[in-house]
Structures are given as C-alpha cells and as structure tokens.
Structure 1
Amino acid sequence: MRADRLLSLVLLLRHRGRMTAAAIAVELEVSERTVLRDVEALSGAGIPVYAERGRHGGFALLPGFSTDLTGLTPGEAVALLTSGSAVTSGALGLGPEFSSAMRKIVAAMPEQARTQATGAAGRVLVRHGGLLRDPQHPEEYPALGAVQQAVFEGTRLLIRYRAGGGPRGATPVEATERTVEPVGLVQASGRWYLLAIRDGEDRTYRVSRIEAATPLPEPARRPDGVDLEELWLRRREDFRARHPGLRVRLRLPVDRRPALSAMAVETVRDDGRTCEVEAAFGDLWHAESVLWPLLPGIEVLDPPELRAALRTRAHTTAATLT
C-alpha cells in the first residue's frame, strides 16, 4: 500500500542511512522502478531524499532530517499525508490499511502540529501519472507561495490569471483579476492546479498561469466535508468530456514500454515483442513536443497530422545540420 510504503521508505533510510534502489526494493518487496517512483514522490512532496551517484552511491536523507514521528513538523506530516492516495488504496482493497497508516502518523504528533497538519493535508493533494508533461517547457509558479497561504489559511484570494490562449504560438491572452474561494491545491503529473469556487461556480486554475496572488483578510466560503481527491477526479473527467484532446496510437518494442511510464496510456495489442498503445494529449503541439524526444524508438501510427508534423520537424532538423 503506497502510503504505508512511503512511510516505511523514510524510516528505512533513517535507520540504514544510504541505500541503493536494489537494496530498498528487496526490503520493501517491490521493483526498483517502484522505488524510484516512491523516491520521486517523497522528494516532490518535500521530504529531503537525495541521490548519490558512483560505486558507493544510493539514496539517503539529508543530514539532520528527523523522521521520528513525534518530531515531524506540520510541513513534513503534510508531505507524507498527501503523498498517499486513499482512492487508489481503496480501489486495491487496501482502504483500511491506508487509514491505519495515516492514523499512526497523526496520533504520534504533538496536538498543535497534528491540528495544523491534518487541516493542511485536507487541502493539498499530490497525484502521480496522467498526461506526460512537456520536459522542454517546465512550468514556473511565481504565485505558488501566496496561493498556498490562502489555501492553508482558508482565506479568499485575489488572483491575476492568464487563461489558456490555444496552441503554442497563438496570441497571448491578457491576464485579468478575479476573486476566488480556494478549495484545495492539486499537483498532478508535475503541474499545480488550484481548485476554487468563483461566483458560485466550480473553477480549476493552472497555478503557472497565475501571475500574481494576494490572500484577502476574509474567510473563504469552502464547502464542508470536501474530499479533494474525489473532487479532482470528478473535475478532471468533466474537463476531458468537454475537451477530448488528441488521441494518439503508437507502436513500440515491449522493452521500450517504460519510456511511456509517465503517460496515461492504454495497451491495445501486445504480442510479447511489440505493443500498440493509445495515449491522450492536449493537442497536436503537445503530442509533438512530448513524442519528439522519444524518436526513433517509437512509431506513430495515428493520427496522420501528427505523423506529418514529426516528419516535417525531422526534415527541418536534418536540413539545419547539413
């Protein structure tokens, strides 16, 4: 179960010190790939796990980091509490184990820290998987700190937001100001999203498009009993229903399948040597940017316009090198 395993990984590194991915995999009875994903999850959630390369390398916690549960800071507890997924655990039949692991973490904390951590953890969610982000254009978050403050403190938020302006290269949309009622922060596939309510309507904002944010001295009207993960899944499905995006069919050798591990894919054929998968992208430009670095190890079967775009890009690249 993911939450219990993440906690076990942190405690293991505390007691053993530096460990290789292979050694951790043996201890936790998982694959090395799972260990790497868990380390990335912990690091992304704020737990100071770092990698040392070389013959005697491995993973370790930064010196001075306390993993004694009674010494967890509210921020560290939030990191652990939000790295697990109750919905995923429930789907695997591990809901009780997830709840038990969370109760152990929370019960071992001082009362003040416990109150802060549980309140904050209910307002932030870290998810993994989904659409592959574009590695060539990492997002920046100039207003994330202010947004997080408003989310955690439960205040209304004034944001200057630049809505999406269509495909890359289109005329940028001018940012406008709006006041929202923050519900929670979600990190999905490396991107931060603000779930909020504006004028009584549900809204989801990409935090990288928030140019400025100011927490207001007024309490936010946040619905009671919000389950952030269920809310995120519902909004994501609603968005996909309204914006089907671009479906891409790929063929690749089975041993190249891990290259797509960060992508939401569905395998449609696998003969043991090659497989065909379908993947979802936001638009043609998104698909081209993500798949270009993976060539020539994969073959794009459909749609034709993506094949043409990649072919044109290859010819242009070749021409500049001759």
Structure 2
Amino acid sequence: MRASRLLSIQMLLETRGRMSATELAGLLEVSVRTLYRDIDELTSAGVPVYAERGRAGGFQLLPGWKTTLTGLTPTEAEAVFLSGLAGPAAELGLGAEVQSAQLKLLSALPAQWRGHARRISSRLHLDPVEWYREADTLAHLSTVAKAVWEERQLGIAYTSWTRSARQVVHPLGLVLKAGTWYLVATREGKLRTFRVAGITDARALEARCTRPRRFDLARHWAESVQRFETELYAAAATVTATAAGLADLRQWNATVARALRGVANPAAGQRVEVRIPIESVLQAAGPLLRLAPDVEVQAPRELRAAILARAQAAARMYARRKGN
C-alpha cells in the first residue's frame, strides 16, 4: 500500500507539476503528516523531489526527471482497457487512437496477462443512451473536443430552449451524462453549460482560452447537478400511496426516489402518506394522474384540482367518442 502511494506521488508530480502538501494529501486520502513522511522516504531513495516555500510553493520534481514504470498488474491492465470501451471515444474522434494505444499496451504486457486484458472488450459493452431514445446528432463534437484539448477559444452558434445566438466561449471540459454530451465553458468570465447537440456551428479560434485557477471539472459538474436539482424541484406535494404506488413513484425520477429512501411499504390494502419534491403543479399533474389509483394527491389543493380537471376532461372526451 505504501509503495503504491509513493509511486502515485511521483506520477502526480510528474503529470501535474508543482503541488501543495494539502493537495497531494487530499488526493491520496492521507494526512499531511503522512505525506511529509512519504516525501522524506522518496528523497532518501533518490527521487529528486524538492520543496518551494511561500504562497505559491509546493513540492515538485527536478525538471526533466521521469518515472520509469516497468509493468502493470493484471487488474490495472483490465482497468485501462475498460476506459477505452467503444462509443464515447469514437464520438470524440479518438476511436483509432484508443485502438492503437490498446495494441501498444498489449504488446508490452506479459503474455499471461494479455488474455485478461482482451476479455474486457469482448465481455463488457458500454451503451450510455437511455431506452427508447435515439442518440443526439453530434456534427460538431470533434471540433469542440479539439478546442478543449488544445485550450483554444471556440466560436459557436448555439440554440437553447429560449433563443439562438452566436458567442465566443472558453472551453474547459466535456461531460457525457445519460448519453448526452455537455460542454462546460466560460463566457464573459462566468461558468456556463452547453448541450453539444444544441451547437449548430463551431469553429476553433487561434486565441488561447483562459482557464479558472484550480478548476476541477468533476467537482464542478457534481455541484452543478446538485444545484440544478435543488432549484428545479423547488415545490413539494403530499400523496398517499399503496405499495405498488410507492414502486411507481421511485421509478418517476431520481430526486423522488431519494426522497422516498427509507419509506417502508404499507401492508396489503393500506396506504402510506409521503411528501415528494415536484417542479410545479403544471409539470406534476400529468405524471401523477398516470399513477392513479395507487397514488392519490392530498396537497397542494391546486395540484389535486389540476389532476381532477385532466381526468374529467379525458372522461368527457372518451365518452363523446364512444357515443359517436
């Protein structure tokens, strides 16, 4: 475990450059005191790690020094092949590069490990697109990706829910969520998220993009998703549900499923009262009507009235057609 951590320190410093003790300790999930002991052990072993004091200081390797890795474990090799599954890499225009890298890795592995590595692509397949949905048309994904890699500003024509506009953005990263690609970028100094399928034209510019200091794409995305869900589901409804109704509610969306965590199923013929988050009366009326009679809205009254009005309108429409 310690040997693996020491190697990780070397690779982090080699790939990221100067890093503070706090940053390194956080990534390795150890205390700062433990990290200092590891640094001492590395320098004793001849690894040229040196420290710079001051506000912008930290640890770094002697310029030009490289770590030489002599091999991977079988599990690590499998993990590398898992990261190169077909689909997202091909959409980014990197399908051929991933295959080439895998061939080079295979040739470098001991013969007895090659079968384990090959097994990944033959037994696991990644399909990120949701059921009953076609994949987005992504005519400009490769252009956007290239601008991200090369840290160049991007001129785009973007169509959102409300309007279309041309703008220049500073691309920071791409995120694939539930089969949909998103571009995280800054525009006029503010962080923005663009659905790549909404980009109708894209052109990489010569100007370099400005990247916010210490920007972390994964952390930013997790915080954005949480903030979006909190703002989106700003209202709530009180409902009573049978065991079957609870099961249906949990399938409605992840936010409702989280709200129902720990709620026990009622006995046969009984109902349980629960409070669930909703976007609005207008948005919730249709889905909750479909869950009747196993789910009945108790409050707010506006939502109950909206569901009743929909049900009565549907009943009148079908009764009229039946009479014809």
Alignment TM class, shorter chain as reference = 0.3 to 0.5
Q: Which protein has greater RCO, CA pairs closer than 8 Å, 6+ apart? A: 1
TM-score of the aligned structures, taking structure 1 as reference length = 0.47
Bigger Rg over Cα: 2
TM-score of the aligned structures, taking structure 2 as reference length = 0.47
